[in-house]
Structure 1
């Protein structure tokens, strides 16, 4: 995967500054007040090993970034009546010690399609955006992909625990429940960010075989 960088802002009680979020689809990186942070999830961003403790003033709880707001925009591919269009996804994330609050807004063809103001994770927020989109318009991100799933019987985190099965596509296409996904789990390609997109993307089926453990996207009854 090739790195992507997204310009944004970091804010806390000490002030605000421009930042650049960089990701390869798996891990996230950014620098805050001279300190480099990295993590598999927005909820697990931690200073890299060897960072002098006197550098920077970002708040940490159990070693990870907290009590702050991150805001950034990223380009997002969207399928409109089968044709690829490029939209912009605006992300507003409040990292709190208790529970993060997330708001997403998709800017497409002069219109804005939003999630709720205080979603708890990217999967739920992206599902809200998808439901708001017109018929025939589909997000083209990992959460909407035919080859992604979560580990059965596990808690879904803010981001980064979505497994990719693109290297075992044919086997995953036959997966239709928890047991099937568990059998394939050790053959997963890796974990990806829900807002990532790669060339292997295929739209997730609406129902039946190929919807794995988590089902269609978005779930009709959610």
Structure 2
């Protein structure tokens, strides 16, 4: 499989639908996903936006259950690394996310394996944003999630976002981030980042070397 960039990591995915179950590796650079499933190369920013080439469309129609928008309907069970700071020490855990798109659903369940413990709930979520908010509350005192979701340079668009991978990163516009104080100024920043070719969309669980914890000093459109 051709890999997108040199700065990538891989994680396991178990995919299940009416045609069976497959164990594969998914490759990510923190911004987009790439995997090969049943001989078809899939790419996208999230698991409900995976696309294939026009040349593979007929094969995909015979291989997957899909809706009228060519969205693959199935269960994606993924294991992603998640950075956690315990007091002053950086640690990590493994976040299990189940994206259930079967029968036109859009349900997410989760659990976290961290420090020989498992954290999770029986609830069903629609957005990874809410998963991480809930998970932060479940972690022991002194533990703080370190990921794009908790970074001061990230925000969602006020109009709405996808369930995963639709978080905007404004690390190329740090001077502009501090001027944002409401939805209107955020939309202005969003438009400016696109116009200046500085717009980046990241996965909530990712983390980069420019991470800076959100302390509440900067207004942003997210609940973390």
Could you tell me the TM-score, scaled by structure 2's length?
Answer: 0.86
Alignment of 1:141-160 (within 5 A): 141-152=147-158, 154-160=159-165
Alignment of 1:112-123 (within 5 A): 112-123=118-129
Matched-pair contact (CA < 8 Å) for 1:104–1:115: yes
Alignment of 1:126-165 (within 5 A): 126-152=132-158, 154-165=159-170
Give the CA deviation at 1:87.
1.2
Matched-pair contact (CA < 8 Å) for 1:166–1:189: no
Q: Distance in 1 between matches of 2:205 and 2:54?
A: 27
Q: Distance in 1 between matches of 2:221 and 2:78?
A: 31
List alignment gaps of at least 5 residues for structure 2: none
Identify the structure with the greater helix proportion.
Answer: 2
Could you tell me the TM-score, scaled by structure 1's length?
Answer: 0.87
Is 1:211 the counterpart of 2:216? The answer is no
Name which of structure 1's ranges 27-36 and 47-56 shifts more when overlaid on structure 2.
Answer: 47-56
Give the CA deviation at 1:37.
1.2
Is 1:183 the counterpart of 2:188? The answer is yes
What RMSD, in angstroms, separates the aligned Cα atoms of the two structures? 1.9
Q: Distance in 1 between matches of 2:91 and 2:97?
A: 19
* Deviation sequence 1:85-113 (CA, Å, 0-9, x none): 02111121211353311112111111122
**Which residue of structure 2 lines up, in the alignment, with residue 64 of structure 1?**
71
Give the CA deviation at 1:82.
2.4
* Deviation sequence 1:26-54 (CA, Å, 0-9, x none): 21111111111111222111223322623
Alignment of 1:19-168 (within 5 A): 19-51=24-56, 53-54=58-59, 57-61=63-67, 62-66=69-73, 68-152=74-158, 154-168=159-173
Q: Distance in 2 between matches of 1:12 and 1:22?
A: 21
Aligned length: 212
Give the CA deviation at 1:176.
2.6
Show structure 1 runs of 4+ deviating over 4 A.
none
